[in-house]
Amino acid sequence: MPSSAAAAAVFVIALLPGALYVWSFERLAGRWGIGLSDRVLRFVGGSAVLHAVFAPSTYWIWKDLWPSIAGRDRLPWWTWLLPIGYVAVPIVAGYVVGNGVRGDKAWTKYVVGLD
């Protein structure tokens, strides 16, 4: 059973992609929501979508790299790029969608809705 600190860390890591996406999006498109509860729902929804996108690579890490980490083997240098991608992909996605909303692009209605 994880401690409350470990559970809080997992919670933050799980919500991080959605939060980064929403903050990057709102930086360009303006505030997008009513309040904190609406924003938290967007964090959760964005994180769920991004974790679904990351699922193949997460499975690969768990299946192939985790035994090396657990066995204390040295990891290849490029594995240090994975956390950067975990942060960069949501920020870039939020930037692209926010820019599209700001420029009134037609494709953005499929991402953010009609309203």
Splitting the chain (115 residues) into consecutive groups of 10 residues, what average pLDDT does each group show? 74 84 86 75 86 85 72 74 87 92 88 77
How high is the pLDDT of residue 75?
Answer: 72
Place of tokens 């939060």: 19
Residues 6+ apart with CB under 8 A from 49: 18
In the block, tokens 């956390």 appear at 83
CB 82 within 8 A of CB 62: no
Cα 73 from chain centre: 28
pLDDT at 26: 86
Collapsed DSSP state (helix, strand, coil) of residue 34: coil
What pTM, to 2 d.p., does this model score?
Answer: 0.74
Non-local CB neighbours of 89 within 8 Å, separated by 6+ positions: 17, 50, 53, 54
C-alpha distances in Å from residue 36, one per residue of 49, 78, 81: 20, 37, 32
* CB-based contact 33:42 (threshold 8 Å): yes
- Amino acid (1-letter code) at residue 39: R
pLDDT number for residue 33: 66
